[in-house]
Structure 1
């Protein structure tokens, strides 16, 4: 994870979303970015262009933290940070 990206993301106004038992981390990320962009989630590029969706779902568990602090990546023009417990923060990339 880039410290610069994490610092920029935490310093900006963020949109936060948490996956539930019915919502995977991948779905939470796509929904948060779509909300921030004001668009339909189906209009966004595939998340797989930015990060491996299966790996993201395997690493992030909304029910517990397995020692993973956070993952940061860029997706569809947004900086995304998702914590090990599933909190998703989204900010427009600079």
Structure 2
């Protein structure tokens, strides 16, 4: 009895990560609040409970100057201010 043929596979590699990755404003807000709270971002309430995430991403343009000066809202017990260029303040 012969052994079944061995299938050759090429090793898998992790996808290349871009070093110029900039998170969306929504991801940046969640990360900043999680850092301030000292918690895992997944343990925060949904951001959509307080602001429309798509609208936030549309209003804030991290890559260039935006007509928006800033937007502020309360999230997870913190006051959040996001500038039109993507700077975030959490207090």
**What's the TM-score once normalised by structure 1's chain length?**
0.73
Gaps of 5+ in 1: 1-19
Partner of 1:68: 68
- Structure 1 residue 68 displacement after superposition: 0.6
Aligned residue pairs: how many? Answer: 72
Q: How does 1:3-82 map to 2 (within 5 A)?
A: 21-82=21-82
- Structure with greater strand share of residues: 1
- Structure with greater helix share of residues: 1
Name the structure, 1 or 2, with higher relative contact order (CA <8 Å, separation 6+): 1
Return structure 1 stretches of 4+ with deviation > 4 angstroms: none
Gaps of 5+ in 2: 1-19
Q: Which has the larger radius of gyration?
A: 2
Q: Deviations over 1:49-71 (max 9, x none)?
A: 01000000000011112211000
- Structure 1 residue 21 displacement after superposition: 4.4
